[in-house]
Amino acid sequence: MQTLSANPVHTQWITLAPGFAGYLALPPAGRGPGLVLWQEIFGVNPHIRAVAEQYALDGFVVLAPDIFWRQKMSGARPPAWNWATWAPTAIAPWH
């Protein structure tokens, strides 16, 4: 297992839409097949980022969108999002 200090994975937060971000983890090669990593209820926390980085070490371009970006404590749900049409264009530059 590699330590984070020797991690060849490039990570960054990217803007997916106004006010809507995602955590992007690129493999050492800078490109590869893509995965959308769905977060648990706790958001894109250190665990989700570590999972994204591990898949990137395995050669995948990983996007973990912050799907609760509009979530309010009142229990309101985020708007419906058509991932089938959005995801291919969002990660295409790295595929």
Contact yes or no for 59/31 (Cβ under 8 A) = no
Whether 92 maps to a domain, the answer reads no
pLDDT at 42: 82
Q: What are 6-34's pLDDT values in tens digits?
A: 679 999 999 988 888 999 999 999 999 99
| β-bridge pairing 20-26 and 10-17 | antiparallel
What is the dihedral sign for C-alpha 58, 84, 89, 24? negative
Whether 38 maps to a domain, the answer reads yes
Which pTM value belongs to this model? Answer: 0.67
- Give SS3 for 39: coil
Range of the domain at 32: 4-70
Whether 91 maps to a domain, the answer reads no
Contact yes or no for 33/59 (Cβ under 8 A) = yes
Contact yes or no for 1/54 (Cβ under 8 A) = no
Whether 25 maps to a domain, the answer reads yes
Average pLDDT of the chain to the nearest whole number: 78
